[in-house]
């Protein structure tokens, strides 16, 4: 088949036709990747074609599997022209498991592509054409970095085991090893398989839906939470025996009454064995967090974010930390001398933040307010905190912030705003009201918190137009 022809069961068709049919085999040049799925993007017959397997710059022969009004989905037949940026995936279930999307792209190319994802989102969704996107800060060894894994429990008969969801489905891909999680968690995964198939401990997993495990990069301690619909009666008497099969496991909890059918964690928790939390240390900041805590999954990259912000933090006496979680960044700011007011909706996270403040000796420099951010900012305590702050740090969930919160920040005329985002689309959306409200975007610094995936963390540095920009010596050439 020549490059100029489209072949189908009906024979050769005019390549200028905008129509594609199921079963057609076409050649496309791949120009981009879809961050969420890892699918390559090309065009044929006037239609966009999505296909798993190729990387940008490759010419591929593909078979059309489904056709929609504006796009088609295809299956890879063969790579016709290979890109120098192609890499050999290092996981046996890559392409089936939904955890990683870009293992087939060389790491430098991953970083360049992710920079482009942010740039495109700001330009297309936020109308921000002149944003300076700095060179992403990546990892020297972009594997074995995740300090947390959330496993799906396969249930029923002899098929019980553990895995991750397949891409774009709730089908379970069994896994007994994962090269993305830290080695300690990989050994935990092997121990879980042993425990679930050992008659002496298998009942501990009766009714289990998910297992969440978290380990400390500095301490090596591991904790687990096993999620069931109702409080487990079989786990507590067997938890100690399960822990003995899992290296350095210091605690096992039962999470129960999940808020939805597919929720990974329960709304309630009961300790079944050992300690409820484990210790992590990032730089000189100590954290104790539970398996259910909101805590970044890549401790090495959190340390990189700390290092990037530290010179400026030391010049800022008052900071408000919105969506502060268990206090990851609030405690860092406080240990550098700032007085910090953290706001967080989850009461468990607030309790952890307060305990961790005491652990680091910064109780006198921190205060934590429990409630929805947009509600707390309407209270006297919230409005006072904003009015007195030198910088507001925002680290919202993937859905981003909200109009009320951003409007409160603009009204308070806070001199500086730092927005840490894991979703370029919502970052682009949320920057718009800040820029319209008198802020200037100095730069956006990406951090590769999630190597081998389509996700990227980005820190947007803003300041009011009538306030001098802060100096970031770590990135003098990138931030102005």
CATH number for 362: 3.40.50.150
Note whether residue 161 is domain-resident.
yes
Do 407 and 360 lie in one domain? The reply is yes
> Which of 256, 282, 308 lies at the terminal end of a domain, its last residue?
282
Please write the tens of the pLDDT for every residue from 221-246.
999 999 999 999 999 999 999 999 99
* Known active-site residue 479: no
Do 307 and 249 lie in one domain? The reply is no
Please write the tens of the pLDDT for every residue from 21-56.
999 999 999 999 999 899 999 999 889 999 999 999
Do 383 and 349 lie in one domain? The reply is yes
Print the SS3 string covering 398-444: CCCCCHHHHHHHHHHCCCEEEEEECCHHHHHHHHHHHHHCCEEEEEE
Do 247 and 302 lie in one domain? The reply is no
Alpha carbons 275 and 292: distance in angstroms, whole number: 13
- Tokens for 245? 């099969």
pTM reported for the whole predicted model: 0.92
Strands 268-274 and 318-322: unpaired
Q: What is the pLDDT of residue 169?
A: 85
Note whether residue 259 is domain-resident.
yes
Note whether residue 238 is domain-resident.
yes
Note whether residue 288 is domain-resident.
no
Please write the tens of the pLDDT for every residue from 317-345.
999 999 999 999 999 999 999 999 999 99
Do 34 and 182 lie in one domain? The reply is no
| Tally of domains in the chain | 3
Alpha carbons 15 and 209: distance in angstroms, whole number: 50
Its domain, for residue 16, covers 6-81
Do 55 and 187 lie in one domain? The reply is no
CATH number for 30: 2.40.50.140
Alpha carbons 230 and 53: distance in angstroms, whole number: 41
- Catalytic residue among 30, 100, 422, 443, which? 422
CATH number for 194: 2.40.50.1070
Q: What is the pLDDT of residue 11?
A: 40
Do 246 and 346 lie in one domain? The reply is no
Do 277 and 328 lie in one domain? The reply is no
Do 266 and 403 lie in one domain? The reply is no
Do 439 and 342 lie in one domain? The reply is yes
């Amino acid at each position: 088949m020549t490059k100029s022809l489209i072949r189908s069961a009906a024979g050769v068709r005019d390549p200028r036709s905008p129509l594609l049919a199921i079963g057609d085999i076409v050649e496309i040049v791949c120009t981009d990747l879809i961050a969420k799925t890892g699918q390559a993007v090309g065009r044929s017959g006037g239609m966009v074609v999505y296909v798993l397997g190729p990387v940008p710059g490759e010419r591929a022969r593909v078979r059309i599997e489904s056709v929609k009004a504006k796009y088609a989905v295809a299956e890879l037949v063969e790579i016709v022209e290979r890109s120098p940026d192609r890499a050999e995936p290092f996981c046996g279930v890559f392409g089936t498991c939904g955890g990683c999307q870009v293992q087939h792209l060389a790491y430098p190319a991953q970083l360049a592509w992710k920079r482009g994802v942010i740039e495109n989102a700001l330009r297309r969704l936020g109308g921000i054409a002149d944003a300076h996107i700095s060179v992403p800060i990546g990892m020297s060894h972009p594997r074995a970095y995740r300090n947390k894994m959330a496993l799906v429990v396969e249930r029923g008969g002899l098929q019980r085991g553990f895995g991750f969801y397949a891409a774009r489905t709730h089908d379970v891909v069994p896994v007994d090893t994962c090269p993305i999680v830290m080695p300690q968690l990989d050994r935990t995964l092997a121990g879980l398989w042993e425990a679930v198939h050992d008659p002496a401990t298998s009942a501990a997993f009766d009714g289990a839906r998910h297992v969440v495990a978290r380990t400390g990069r500095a301490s090596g301690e591991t904790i687990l939470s096993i999620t069931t619909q109702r409080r487990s009666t079989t786990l507590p008497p067997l938890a100690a025996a399960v822990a003995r099969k899992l290296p350095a496991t210091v605690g096992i909890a039962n999470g129960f009454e999940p808020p939805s059918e597919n929720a990974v964690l329960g709304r309630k928790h009961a300790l079944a064995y050992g300690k409820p939390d484990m210790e992590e240390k990032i730089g000189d900041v100590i954290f104790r967090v539970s398996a259910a805590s909101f805590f970044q999954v890549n401790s090495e990259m959190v340390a990189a974010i700390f290092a990037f912000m530290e010179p400026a933090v030391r010049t800022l006496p008052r900071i408000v930390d919105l969506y502060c979680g268990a206090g990851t960044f609030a405690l860092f700011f406080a240990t550098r001398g700032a007085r910090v007011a953290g706001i967080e909706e989850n009461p468990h996270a607030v309790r952890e933040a307060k305990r961790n403040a005491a652990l680091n000796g910064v109780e006198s420099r921190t205060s934590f307010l429990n409630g929805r951010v947009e509600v707390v900012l309407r209270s006297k305590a919230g409005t006072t905190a904003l009015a007195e702050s030198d910088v507001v740090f925002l680290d919202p969930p993937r859905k981003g912030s909200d109009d009320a919160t951003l409007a409160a920040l603009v009204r308070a005329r806070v001199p500086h705003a730092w927005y840490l985002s894991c979703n370029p689309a919502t970052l682009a959306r949320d920057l718009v009201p800040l820029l319209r409200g008198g802020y200037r975007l100095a730069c956006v610094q990406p951090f590769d918190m999630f190597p081998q995936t389509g996700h990227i963390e980005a820190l947007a540095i803003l300041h009011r137009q009538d306030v001098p920009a802060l100096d970031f010596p770590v990135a003098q050439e990138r931030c102005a």
